[in-house]
Structure 1
Amino acid sequence: MGNQPLIVMSDDSQRTSGRDAQSMNISAGKAVAEAVRTTLGPKGMDKMLVDSSGGVVVTNDGVTILKEMDIEHPAANMIVEVAQTQEDEVGDGTTSAVVVAGELLKQAEELLDQDIHATTLAQGYRQAAERAKEVLDDIAIEVDADDTEVLTQIASTAMTGKGAENARDVLAELVVDAVRAVADEDGIDTENVKVEKVVGGATSESELIEGVIVDKERVHDNMPYFAEDANVALLDGALEVKETEIDAEVNVTDPDQLQQFLDQEEQQLEEMVQQIKSVGADVVFVGSGIDDMAQHFLAQEGIIAVRRAKDSDLSRLARSTGGSVVSSVDDLDEDDLGYAGSVAQKDIGGDQRIFVEDVEDAKSVTLVLRGGTEHVVDEVERAIEDSMGVVRVTLEDGEVLPGGGAPEIELALALRDFADSVGGREQLAVEAFADALEVNPRTLAENAGLDSIDSLVELRSQHDGGAQGAGLDAYTGDVIDMEEEGVVEPRRVKTQAIESATEAAVMILRIDDVIAAGDLSGGQVDADDGGDDMDMPPGGGGMGGGMGGMGGMGGMGGAM
């Protein structure tokens, strides 16, 4: 072919390789971490996120912020996945995990500038992460599942710095009771704790219902509002006359035939209702429709009926009352009935709902959260979800760590000692990992308006002296024993954060070529063109190849 160039990619394709690709991806990851860093800790600030339609979310929950920012940059999305994994696995520590991932990339960037190969960094980071998890196992504090005080402290710690903080003592007790209630031999599924949000009243007026609240009303005005010591029937079918499976035509030649047809339909419906009554049901929840005539017969018999109940509601009712969901009335017998001390239609936040409560050993419960505004209630719900996650994890693992940055300082000291035993350039990566872990206590101090250097020096000094539980009190600026103060969190919060952050950082560092289809030139772009998302800083450290300003691959400005 002589000196003719070989065209492999289309004219619209773009490629960034080598140091430029690494720099671009590292900058994207660091930008994500910086976006949530100021929300960390009890004195962290909130973010207001406004979408193109004017919807507003006010929160300091890391994973919520990153979801709402609608990030598109592929490398940045790897950091977002760190938060999502942390949320799914533990429920809390999302901001910490993202901040650590960003700091690992920042430390790596400095080593890359010193010509340390990315593969060497990756190997060193992985060695450091494994050693860190071993140290966390050594310093973990065992907790008994019956220790209500510690579980309440864990729940309370998870709410600190969030919208629920002003009522965290009340809410923490509710969370512990709720999570314990739904625990069974199969484990703990917090999906069985239904959260009902009510705008109005103080957050401290929130309550735990040992049972289920169904967002429906009774279907007929003549039905009773209340049933005591109620037997509950659960049907996922309909209380209607079945239609034929094929198209059918009925020819009526005189009015008597029509009346006979209607009478027969009415008789079928009455028989269905009599079947429900004969098994002793006082309340029936139906997954589909209820014929008007069936409603009439049910009202005559004094049976409360609810139609079009969601599958999730029927499942919760079954777990709560001990009943079984059946497909039709013909399959219903006494053994399928559940029991509730009280079933009533009540007003809650201006809406009529059915309360199924006073259930012994309810395996599905409802948390009623109150707040002055919709934004407040939404943020309380996010805090409650985080809190339930950490209580669940603690009950499953039985191990906790002191908070306030204490584990990170202990890990940093242990990893610096470990680095001496690591040969080659990986030693530098292990030391960088140790420095990166200190970003959390440093950020706690910064967000509390304290001198981060003084705080770190004091923390290191106390840990050098053997005080493994020494952490930073963000309110006073003192270094105190976090275990004694009751500021603790599950061990899995830290181990999962380290695992996820390390894997994401390593994956980003190992990318040395970005090949993109289409025209990706351009700089800062808002994701929704509404001008309300966060723009990325220009430049971005020499991105090259039309990827400047992190606008490449959809742009980080276009990413957020």
Structure 2
Amino acid sequence: MSLKKEATQGAEVDERLAALLTNSNAIRAITSAVEGTLGPKGLDTMLVDKFGEVVITNDGVTILTLMEANHPAARMLINIAKAQQEEVGDGTTTATVMAGALVGFGVEQVIKGVPVARVIEGMRVGLKKALAVMESQAQQINGVHDQFVRQVALVSGRGHEDIADLVKRAAVLIGEEKLKDSSFKFSDTVVAEEGALNQVFMGVIINKERMNRQMPGELGEVKVLIIDDALEPEEIDEEALGTESGFARYLQLQAEFKENVQKITSLGVGLVLADRGVNDAAEEILTDAGVMVVQRVANKELRKAAEHTGARMIKRTGLKRTTEELLKYLGFADRVYNDEKLEQVWVQGGRGKPMATVLVGAATSEVVGERERIAKDASASVQSAVRGGVVPGGGSLELAVAREVEKVREGIRGMAAYGVDCVVEALKRPMSQIIANAGFNPLEKLGDVIAAQVETGKNSLAVDCDSGQVADMLEMGIVDPAEVKIYALKAAGEVAEAILRIDTIIKKREEDFKPKDSSLSGL
């Protein structure tokens, strides 16, 4: 065959695989951005914006969210990582690394001549087997007092002992039943503040201060009223206000409003939380009555306060009800405290549902965000572990699962077997990357672990990143939530298949603007 003919065929192959190679390169670039953070020896990434603002983090989803990525395939992978974070709160780096490996090995097979359809077919078979084995390996934990709860927090919290202790204490306060509630997100209870002391308390934090310093800074045995609205008189439009009847209506509304505010004081309310602004007249009346008022509270915080105190949120029009009816809307708290240093109001000891807050302290503003991310990851992992159990960490489970998937390959005929190989290699990648980040030779150590797992029958064997020796992850207390591992593999498989199936990339035409009213089209 002439050199010219070979070059022509090579160009045809490159053109046929252009979309696949382009997407694969984009996925590889995204994977490279986070793989160096994996494992206990993983390093941090610095992200810098055009204004010079810097974020230094080890958190995979933060890196992926903040990095500039314009390629559509790259954004697909980032969206999968976001979904992983939203669903289980951790494992985004693992999902990204495995997705990158699946795509990378899949493209290698296609370049060798394996049809994409056969690669995907084999990947589906391998992933189905891998997920089944992973689910069977989950070890249920014995409630929030189980020793593995703290270990999960420690591993996910990147070895921060103080954060692991905080998360464990909060889990005990909240209780197993609440942690298993699908509508409750443990990570939402985490708050990090510069200059604060690490602590866990039963209560919620409102990130606003009292309206003025004449209001009490601390109250005990408090009745709580939560207004999901502005504490202001009903409005009347300016046009109506210019008429005699309109002005009379205005005066009536003002009088009714003051009467409603007086009802609040007559009920003995000590704390008022309002979604929006508070009228000057209302502020004056409530200040004179010794009521602490916090305005413009975030709706999320209002809901948490209502749940914790047992209050029912009410609109301003609801204040027209009788005092007997309004009593049913009040909540109760043992203590309300305005922290001037942190610029927050703490509502503690509510009579409603238990609600613990994890307050993480940070020495400087630069590390506040990262400390909060670490604590949120740790709390999300603990909740996942309580719900779905734990599996050995350090990449040991994935490696053991890879050995089981290899057995499936033996029974597959045809080119689909190459797709199974992609799954096997992807499952090996987390441990390989952890070993590399720890400064050891992945090929050598991976071989040692595989031999040890086969010889002993222990699927929990991996590499001690300090010594480089094969060690039992369960004995070392290195465990991960089963849900995190399972979801990460599912997510990786979904995005890999989606990327491999793309045959052509076409730029969409920009649609011309057309007025909704066709009669205006000639204007």
For residues 462-541 of structure 1, the aligned pairs below 5 Å read 462-465=452-455, 466-516=457-507
Q: 1:408 aligns with which of 379, 398, 422?
A: 398
Partner of 1:548: none
Q: 1:108 aligns with which of 90, 103, 106?
A: 106
Partner of 2:447: 457
TM-superposition CA deviations, 1:409-454 (whole Å, max 9, x none): 1011111111101121112221232122111111111100112122
Alpha-carbon distance change, 239 to 35 in structure 1, aligned in 2, over 3 angstroms: closer
For residues 178-327 of structure 1, the aligned pairs below 5 Å read 180=175, 183=178, 186-190=181-185, 193-200=188-195, 205-245=197-237, 247-249=239-241, 268-327=256-315
Q: Do the aligned partners of 1:455 and 1:472 also contact (CA within 8 Å) in 2?
A: yes
Q: Match for 2:288: what amino acid? A: Q
Alpha-carbon distance change, 312 to 437 in structure 1, aligned in 2, over 3 angstroms: same
Partner of 2:426: 436
- C-alpha distance in 1, partners of 2:367/2:195? 10
- C-alpha distance in 2, partners of 1:235/1:128? 54
- Select the structure that is richer in helix: 2
Q: CA deviation at 1:487?
A: 1.2
TM-superposition CA deviations, 1:385-431 (whole Å, max 9, x none): 2222222222222x211001111110111111111011211122212
Q: 2:92 aligns with which of 87, 91, 94?
A: 94
Report whether the alignment pairs 1:371 with 2:362. yes
**How many aligned residue pairs are there?**
489
SS for the counterpart of 2:76 is helix
The percentage of aligned residue pairs carrying the same residue is 30
Unaligned stretches of 5+ residues in structure 2: 1-13, 511-523
Q: Match for 2:330: what amino acid? A: L
Q: CA deviation at 1:263?
A: 9.1
Greater shift, 360-369 or 288-297, is seen at 360-369
Q: CA deviation at 1:269?
A: 4.8
Q: CA deviation at 1:484?
A: 2.0
Q: Do the aligned partners of 1:182 and 1:363 also contact (CA within 8 Å) in 2?
A: no
Q: Match for 2:438: what amino acid? A: A
Partner of 1:12: none
Structure 1 length normalisation: TM-score? 0.81
Q: 1:55 aligns with which of 53, 56, 59?
A: 53
TM-superposition CA deviations, 1:155-212 (whole Å, max 9, x none): 2111126xxx2534333324534764892785342178344331136xxx32223212
Q: Do the aligned partners of 1:63 and 1:95 also contact (CA within 8 Å) in 2?
A: yes
TM-superposition CA deviations, 1:484-513 (whole Å, max 9, x none): 222111112121111111121122112222
Q: Do the aligned partners of 1:194 and 1:367 also contact (CA within 8 Å) in 2?
A: yes
Q: Do the aligned partners of 1:179 and 1:190 also contact (CA within 8 Å) in 2?
A: no
Alpha-carbon distance change, 188 to 396 in structure 1, aligned in 2, over 3 angstroms: farther
SS for the counterpart of 1:515 is coil
Partner of 1:417: 407
Partner of 1:426: 416
- C-alpha distance in 1, partners of 2:106/2:209? 59
- C-alpha distance in 2, partners of 1:145/1:516? 53
SS for the counterpart of 2:118 is helix
- C-alpha distance in 1, partners of 2:115/2:249? 85
SS for the counterpart of 1:424 is coil
Q: Do the aligned partners of 2:217 and 2:292 also contact (CA within 8 Å) in 1?
A: yes
Alpha-carbon distance change, 223 to 81 in structure 1, aligned in 2, over 3 angstroms: closer
Q: Match for 1:442: what amino acid? A: S
Partner of 1:169: 164
Q: Match for 2:109: what amino acid? A: L
- C-alpha distance in 2, partners of 1:206/1:48? 26
Q: Do the aligned partners of 2:41 and 2:438 also contact (CA within 8 Å) in 1?
A: yes
TM-superposition CA deviations, 1:230-250 (whole Å, max 9, x none): 111111233333332563346
TM-superposition CA deviations, 1:265-308 (whole Å, max 9, x none): 77545422321123231222222333323222222222222222
TM-superposition CA deviations, 1:329-379 (whole Å, max 9, x none): 223611211111011212234x3x221112356444432221122231111
- C-alpha distance in 2, partners of 1:429/1:368? 47
Partner of 1:557: none
Q: Do the aligned partners of 2:145 and 2:172 also contact (CA within 8 Å) in 1?
A: no
SS for the counterpart of 1:210 is strand
Q: Do the aligned partners of 1:160 and 1:168 also contact (CA within 8 Å) in 2?
A: no
- C-alpha distance in 2, partners of 1:192/1:237? 27
Q: Do the aligned partners of 2:166 and 2:200 also contact (CA within 8 Å) in 1?
A: no
Alpha-carbon distance change, 213 to 437 in structure 1, aligned in 2, over 3 angstroms: same
- C-alpha distance in 2, partners of 1:128/1:261? 73
Partner of 1:149: 147
Q: Do the aligned partners of 2:310 and 2:352 also contact (CA within 8 Å) in 1?
A: no
- C-alpha distance in 1, partners of 2:426/2:230? 60
Alpha-carbon distance change, 127 to 178 in structure 1, aligned in 2, over 3 angstroms: farther
Partner of 2:129: 131
Q: Do the aligned partners of 2:37 and 2:44 also contact (CA within 8 Å) in 1?
A: yes
TM-superposition CA deviations, 1:128-165 (whole Å, max 9, x none): 0000011112222122334442222112111126xxx2
Report whether the alignment pairs 1:445 with 2:440. no
SS for the counterpart of 2:357 is strand
Unaligned stretches of 5+ residues in structure 1: 1-15, 253-257, 520-560
Q: Match for 1:38: what amino acid? A: G
- C-alpha distance in 1, partners of 2:210/2:493? 54
